[in-house]
Amino acid sequence: MFSKIIINISVENLDRPFTYRIPERLTDRCHPGTKVLVPFGNSNRMIEGYILEITDHADIDESKIKDIDSVVVEQSANESRLIELAAFIKEQYGSTMNAALKTVLPIKRAYKPKEKKTIEAKADTDVIIDAYSQAQRKKQYAKARLLHELIEETVLDYTLVTSKLKVSTATISSLEKAGIIRVKSENYFRNPVVLGKSKEKDISLNDDQQAIVDEFVHDIDNDIHKTYLIHGITGSGKTLTYISLIKEVVSRKKQVIVLIPEIALTYQTLKRFYHYFGERVSVLNSTMSPGEKFDQCERAKKREIDVIIGPRSALFTPFSDLGLIVIDEEHENTYKSDSMPRYHAREVAGKLAQLTGASLVLGSATPSVESYFRALKGDYKLFSMTKRATGAVLAQTKIVDMRKELHDGNKSIFSNALKDSIADRLNKGQQIMLFLNRRGYAGFVSCRSCGVVMRCPHCDVSLSEHLSNGRLVCHCGNGTDRRGSA
């Protein structure tokens, strides 16, 4: 058997598959996506690579083909679809295949599982009491402390025994050889989710939410998988709708990926989901240790979790039976990767849903222009939620044309409407918050008469005035710096 392998070198000239022979000893361990060690170049330097394809024939002279040396990380067969996803990223965004593979196959190497050791009483209580008395007479105080605790508790934590009771491993070994105790060791997965006991909650949906769930359920029951855009105002209950959709998918033995725009939102999102899915929900993000990330991927493969929550990197969780991808606040720029390989999580999620036969749900109070356009065209199914779930009314918003204010004689930076509202609230003893979205002393400089804004010639973003030097500066990185006055 032969394999097509992409070498772990980010050089464009080497961004192509190389053919290697699979030794008989490694036949059962090599699959598409497996990370292997191979001899490369004239010097046969050992280098890592990923298997893209396995075939029974070679397209070059077999006498020139080298053998795979060893397997670094074994991947399950279902991860072969991630290879196809990497090829999509390479073609769509101009990446190298190697960089794309490093993104979709995030596990660099296997990590040892955490080990929990316990000490259990093996002998009868009378024997332990007798051994305790002998240890006291012989002034073997460490052994006596351990035996005394075993009289009270038949199972003790190994770490507590060595740290709190100050019992050495040699003492523990001697008691084990004497047949008085046994040391048990169990491996367990690291779990970053520590929220206490979950509390199952009932879900009560309003008419808008129930209509979305009903249509979604009708589609998946008829094996229809498509993209849905939920355009819901702030407070309309989008998260509860997501949870209802996820419960339907999980009840059908499928798995779910939930993407959120930033890591800071992970805890509050996880807390809400934990009430409904308990320990079957987990997280995956860059703040976790490599061991924690590895264990969450292993738990996903073993179907110990049904729902994974995280930023865009969670999209590549190796679920074997993916049924739904949810992207909350789909308009956010954080779903775009600015480093190599560059990709947009929303578009990659669409491809992943296509490869796995999963549904894709996008949600936002202010959908991106692209998503809304596709929904209006009929490419996406559009749902609108125009009322707040609690029945509250949205705050009124007023847009003021400051050019008209100038023509009316108002030369202040505040509109008359804003000044009147501030004065009214102060008279009532209330407080006011003013939000400014800018960097520099002034977010932009414009002509008060005609409204023309000074813009960067490179990126067309408005220039910011800096008070320290009086310059108009753009933050796009092209060095635009103008001295000027408005």
Count of domains forming the chain: 3
- Decide which of 385, 405, 427 is a domain's last residue: 385
The DSSP bridge partners found for residue 71 are: 36
Closest CA to 310 of 188, 192, 212: 192
Q: Which residue has the tokens 């169990």?
A: 186
User: Are the beta carbons of 360 and 328 closer than 8 angstroms?
Assistant: no
The answer on 260 and 163 residing in a single domain is no
Of residues 101 and 315, more confidence is placed in 315
CA dihedral sign, ordered 73, 78, 80, 85: negative
Which long-range CB contacts under 8 A does 404-411 form with residues at least 24 apart?
406/448, 406/449, 411/448
Does some domain include residue 435?
A: no
- How many CA atoms are closer than 13 Å to the CA of 190, on its beta-carbon side? 17
Same domain as 380, residue 299: yes
At residue 486, the pLDDT reads 36
- Choose the final residue of a domain: 104, 137, 158: 104
Q: Which of 5-9, 18-22, 280-284, 412-416 has the lowest mean pLDDT?
A: 5-9
Residue 9: pLDDT band (50, 70, 90) is low
Reference 198, options 309, 281, 275; nearest CA is 275
| 165 and 25 together in one domain | no
Among 61-65, 149-153, 194-198, 206-210, name the most confident range. Answer: 206-210
Q: Which of 59-63, 287-291, 343-347, 449-453 has the highest mean pLDDT?
A: 343-347
Whether residues 245 and 321 share a domain: the answer is yes
Distance in angstroms (rounded) separating the CA atoms of residues 126 and 56: 67
Same domain, 76 and 129: no
The last residue of one of the domains, among 331, 360, 385, is 385
| Per-residue pLDDT tens digits for 364-403 | 999 999 999 999 999 999 999 988 877 777 788 899 988 8
356 lies in the same domain as 248: yes
Query: Which residue has better confidence, 266 or 63?
Result: 63
**Cα 482 to Cα 486: distance, rounded to the nearest angstrom:** 12
The pLDDT of residue 485 is 39
Residues pairing with 50 in the sheet = 6, 35
What pLDDT band is residue 245 in, cutting at 50, 70 and 90? Answer: very high
Distance of CA 307 to the CA centre of its chain: 11
Nearest-angstrom CA–CA distance, 101 and 103:
5
Domain region containing 319: 207-385
What is the mean predicted confidence (pLDDT) over 70-97?
A: 79
Q: Are strands 17-21 and 281-283 parallel, antiparallel or unpaired?
A: unpaired
Token match 């308009």: residue? 331
Asked if the model's pLDDT at residue 297 lies above 90, the reply is no
Distance CA 147, CA 45 (A): 56
Tokens 């006291």 map to which residue? 136
Q: Provide the pLDDT for residue 273.
A: 87
On the question of pLDDT at 484 being above 50, the answer is: no
Q: Are residues 337 and 230 part of one domain?
A: yes
Cα–Cα distance between 79 and 318 in angstroms, integer?
Answer: 6
Higher pLDDT, 350 or 127: 350
Looking up residue 100, the CATH number of its domain turns out to be 3.40.1440.60
Contacts of 85 (CB under 8 A, 6+ apart): 104, 316, 348, 351, 352, 355
What's the CATH code of the domain at 271? 3.40.50.300
Whole-angstrom distance, CA of residue 5 vs CA of residue 83: 11
- Are 131 and 45 part of one and the same domain? no
Q: What is the pLDDT of residues 162-204, one digit of tens each?
A: 888 888 888 888 888 888 888 888 776 666 665 555 555 677 8
Residues 263 and 183 in one domain: no
Amino acid in position 59: D
- Residue 39, SS3? strand
- Does residue 450 register a pLDDT over 90? no
28 neighbors 22 (Cβ within 8 angstroms): no
Banded pLDDT at 221 (limits 50, 70, 90)? very high
